[in-house]
A = this chain, B = another copy of it.
Amino acid sequence: MITIKDMAEMLELSTTTVSNVIHGKTKEVSGATVAKVQKLIDEYNYVPNINARNLAVNSSKIIGMAIKGSEEKYVNLIADPFYGELIGTVEHELRKAGFFMMLYISGSIEEIIRYTSTWNADGLILVGMSQDDYVKVRQRYKKPTVIIDSYISEEIARHLNVGLEDEEGAYQMTEYLIKYGHRKIGFVTDNMEGIDYYRYLGHKRAMKEYMVPAEEDQLISILPGHLEKEDTLAELMQKAKEVTAFMFCSDYYAATVINYFQDQGLKVPGDISITGFDGNRYGKMVRPVLTTVCQDVTEKGRAAVKQLVKMIENQKQEYGNIRLPVELFIGDSVKKVKDPAAS
């Protein structure tokens, strides 16, 4: 690893001059010198030591991308194509903008805070954070931060969030189901915070607007991570008798259940209709093809990076909510049913 100092000595120049050439401040340097230095740089493959540079300018070009998930959910989390795609685009966009990505996947918010401050990250992208988590991070980390897919109340914490039209997406899906004659709809989720909660609100709004009596509405709660377990699936089979459709908050869950039901001899959508949320490969891979609410994950990552870079350049935190649009994708997992009440 050749350094500026080494090169300066070899050419009998000062480090300042060499540094100037490296930074293209060539108007203050003679052409001959520039050439000499440039030659050496190429010859020895000079590459700056970022640690030294960061120390000198008190910045890193590091953006921390912190994904919070409980320890038990760990493996599930990262195998989900949503995260793969998100991480991929964020890394890509970040580098295009001249930054580097440091990835933290951890169940401990304390750990995340510690790491980001040691590395003196120029900015943060937070995924999967609750309001509490966000507040804790903000207490200790003051530089630009953007959150992805969180719902945080405006009063408590000013923040910039990049998310989805979750409420609207669920509303549209419910509306679609109702128009297809469904009234007894089971809304399945493993938590009631953040995005799932807002999707539930959208679902409720549609149910109300179309005047479906509240007692026909079923909220089905699943223990987090248990949707892959046999007994939970069996339980869902039971519930399937009481409703004509299930709405899931992720394609992965929806697809898993479709397969389970069919393996058990239940017809989808013949006996029960099923919908998802995400629009990823799992929904395309399962048969019947999943009717779902599509989001553009790439766009999500891109928007987050764009906002973050803007903040870093302006040296200040911005506030607001960016809600990316969603779109219904009609597959084959929903059947038209006769509404008994209508006839």
Contact = CB atoms under 8 A, between A and B. Distances in A.
Interface residues of A, number: 53
A256 B80 CA distance: 18
Contact of A47 (B89, B100, B118): B118
A78 B88 contact: yes
A317 interface: no
Main secondary structure of the interface of A (DSSP, over half): helix
Contacts of A114: 47
Contacts of A285: 255-256, 259, 282, 285-286
B91 A281 contact: no
B105 A92 contact: yes
B100 A119 contact: yes
A7 B162 CA distance: 39
Interface in A79-123: 79-81, 83-85, 87-89, 91-92, 95, 100-106, 114-115, 117-120
A1 interface: yes
Contacts of A79: 81, 84-85, 88, 280-281
Nearest to A52: B55
A118 B49 contact: yes
A75 interface: yes
A298 interface: yes
A55 B45 contact: no
Given A91-B103, A101-B103, 17 more contacts: A1-B117, A45-B117, A47-B117, A49-B120, A50-B119, A51-B51, A51-B55, A74-B88, A75-B88, A75-B298, A79-B81, A84-B84, A88-B105, A103-B103, A255-B285, A281-B282, A285-B285
Interface of A: 1, 45, 47-52, 54-55, 60, 74-75, 77-81, 83-85, 87-89, 91-92, 95, 100-106, 114-115, 117-120, 140, 255-256, 259, 262, 280-282, 284-287, 298
CB-based closest 4 A-B pairs = A78-B88, A84-B84, A51-B54, A51-B55
27 contacts: A45-B140, A49-B55, A49-B118, A50-B51, A51-B52, A51-B54, A51-B55, A51-B120, A55-B55, A74-B88, A75-B85, A78-B84, A79-B281, A80-B81, A80-B84, A81-B84, A87-B87, A87-B103, A91-B103, A100-B102, A100-B119, A103-B103, A255-B285, A262-B287, A286-B286, A286-B287, A287-B287
